[in-house]
Structure 1
């Protein structure tokens, strides 16, 4: 991170997200103006309570078409933001539009439906662990991300939405690109084109041959009740649900494994029954959130923060989850420590308010299934390069490991 005049510039590669957060916090303001990749100026909120309030404040919108003058002027459409903001789905909507779109998708993520997914998650987990065991016996060292943390949620969400096997590699490629905040204008534009092509192909396949999957349900809602969902809203909703449905869980699993292997005392607490896997999952979500900085929200009107900072109408705001989740004012002097017995484990990793993540129960269930199964199958699991920090994904948004080399058999 480097300073440019009065504005702090975030690293597009996300190489030290927590270090950036700490440096900005030391500036002492509730919110600091920062520069995101591609020159986007936005408010970075350091305090948990302030961010939590803004996330539920009706004066804060997620619709750039209505509430961000820069977007209305055509700015930043040749950047990585194109794949994030040029969308008509729950993530980029406000007010009644958001309620309408969320209502269409919410029934798919009820507690009952999530519980019904458990056998599927257990089956996929077992299949991946079998493959890991075979590969470990042959090679010794594996990349946990590519062997386990990534394919588990990707296969779960693709089964849920009926994505055919031959389309899944393209889905993986596109989801990785969405999180990459180093994309050039040409790459961002091509990614947007490729995304629409992929989801158009998926929707057309379900029109021709509908199934019991959620894509078929959404296509039916679009075709039978055209006023409920436009074609672009359908495609953008599929992008959001499939993208969010796997990316957060990929990093959650990888971050949890890395945290537990680098904090063996914490892993021992779980193994001895003095803490639960739920405790480990929630502390990972707090300490190493899968999404560190979520773009963007916009001030519908001028907002005065408790310390006197003024966010002007039309200003952009980044949801600084990684910073808020380690705020000493919320968690005390141990805010930066990984402690699964923490008494106040509240966090903002799934958002807050009307945009709270619908898929949170599914992500938690996948992690609670994957982690004990992994450590039970491989009780001697260890990092292959314990002295080295694994490479981070190249993103100012996501927080996770691009690779996580491990030795499953010790």
Structure 2
């Protein structure tokens, strides 16, 4: 291993030996490929509601797996998402982590997802205008048309040949909807979303991450230049207008680029994974699908249970302690990094019972999840993701009532990510009504 690629290490989280089991203080290594997210979450939970983990590159962080603790921390002003202000190891983006850490992009962006306090309120206010109930409702006919068109496309598949329902249905649907909302030109979409998808691959090497970042910067610069020349009634144009016309209240140029990137990445990945996991869960639990068909449960029930059971974003880096925080039997010290494990929290037995690992759309606690986040950073696009799922799922199963998996579940491969929770492909066989 070369000196340049040697693991980077930050100071370990602070623990009080008198209150912590010494045998459990060694950080649990996180698998960057996300090969078994739920088993990893269970191992972390066994260590307590918040446990130490070692991220790719040797960076140590606390991982929260307890629902109640997560809700408390996500609404605590002593928890920040701004690495520049509250993570000493980041060295204001000028140190070794910024240069060599494979996950640096997750904390380096200057968008609302990493903002704190007044900066977060300023940035979120600008974006929230695009995700009003009125604007989301206005997209319903567009989403219905897109779903119908995609179903027509996959219906043309040669009988007996598998269809990748993620790649050929869930992905293009989410992409086209977010492109309509953001106003992304057709000739820019393929390259842009190919590169954005690479961002979620947490198993990527440092060289791959750097190459992705350079290409992405070029694409974003071209997109913003295009929208400046030809503005429209879309979110990117609105953000540019805020930047160019209201200097004091708008975005600086770095914030503009990073905010558009956030909208592109977060605006489609969650929806794709939600559809992917919901379809997979219903196909592998036909008795649950029959509950819907018989009128004993609704599609909304299935959507909530899919969100709980398979959180689309499994683990979200990172947050930072603004000051010392007492959390159960440990002290999260000022400057320590935290990760909220939404996938583990969705299966917290303290909330969902001993059968929390089971998929059950009639579960009384199916709505008691925080898979879209919680507190001030709750996903502003959650209503849009729900709208897409509420239209796509019933239309898919009505068009292809005999749909089935083309391979057994053990042959499905997860995304190479401990952040994004989905399958690389989801091959199915179709049977039309």
Q: Would you say same fold, with TM above 0.5?
A: yes
- 1:216 pairs with 206, 212, 237, which one? 237
Provide the C-alpha distance between the structure 2 equivalents of 1:261 and 1:55, rounded to a whole number of angstroms.
34
Report what 2:71 is aligned to: 52
1:16 aligns with 2:36: yes
Deviation at 1:136, TM superposition (A): 4.3
- 1:122 pairs with 125, 144, 160, which one? 144
8 Å CA contact 1:294–1:397 kept in 2: the answer is yes
8 Å CA contact 2:315–2:341 kept in 1: the answer is yes
**TM-score, normalization by structure 1:** 0.96
| SS of the residue 2:419 aligns to | coil
Deviation at 1:5, TM superposition (A): 7.8
8 Å CA contact 2:320–2:338 kept in 1: the answer is yes
Deviation at 1:187, TM superposition (A): 1.5
Provide the C-alpha distance between the structure 2 equivalents of 1:136 and 1:59, rounded to a whole number of angstroms.
57
Deviation at 1:76, TM superposition (A): 2.5
| SS of the residue 1:319 aligns to | strand
Report what 1:63 is aligned to: 82
8 Å CA contact 1:30–1:309 kept in 2: the answer is no
Provide the C-alpha distance between the structure 2 equivalents of 1:387 and 1:88, rounded to a whole number of angstroms.
39
Uncovered stretches (5+) of structure 2, i.e. residues with no partner: 1-22
Report what 1:42 is aligned to: 61
**TM-score, normalization by structure 2:** 0.91
1:323 aligns with 2:350: no
| SS of the residue 2:354 aligns to | helix
| SS of the residue 2:289 aligns to | helix
| SS of the residue 1:76 aligns to | helix
8 Å CA contact 2:317–2:340 kept in 1: the answer is yes
- 1:261-340 equivalences under 5 Å are 261-305=283-327, 307-340=328-361
Q: CA RMSD in A?
A: 1.5
Provide the C-alpha distance between the structure 1 equivalents of 2:36 and 2:384, rounded to a whole number of angstroms.
29
Provide the C-alpha distance between the structure 2 equivalents of 1:206 and 1:100, rounded to a whole number of angstroms.
22
Report what 2:27 is aligned to: 7
Deviation at 1:198, TM superposition (A): 1.2
8 Å CA contact 2:65–2:348 kept in 1: the answer is yes
Provide the C-alpha distance between the structure 1 equivalents of 2:78 and 2:209, rounded to a whole number of angstroms.
30
Deviation at 1:146, TM superposition (A): 0.9
- 1:392 pairs with 411, 414, 420, which one? 414
Report what 1:189 is aligned to: 210
Uncovered stretches (5+) of structure 1, i.e. residues with no partner: none
Deviation at 1:129, TM superposition (A): 0.4
Deviation at 1:90, TM superposition (A): 0.6
| SS of the residue 1:33 aligns to | strand
Report what 2:15 is aligned to: none
8 Å CA contact 1:145–1:403 kept in 2: the answer is yes
8 Å CA contact 1:136–1:142 kept in 2: the answer is no
| SS of the residue 1:38 aligns to | coil
- 2:401 pairs with 363, 379, 383, which one? 379
Deviation at 1:184, TM superposition (A): 1.6
Provide the C-alpha distance between the structure 2 equivalents of 1:389 and 1:336, rounded to a whole number of angstroms.
20
1:370 aligns with 2:388: no
Report what 1:258 is aligned to: 280
1:202 aligns with 2:223: yes
Q: How many aligned positions are there? A: 405
8 Å CA contact 2:25–2:52 kept in 1: the answer is no
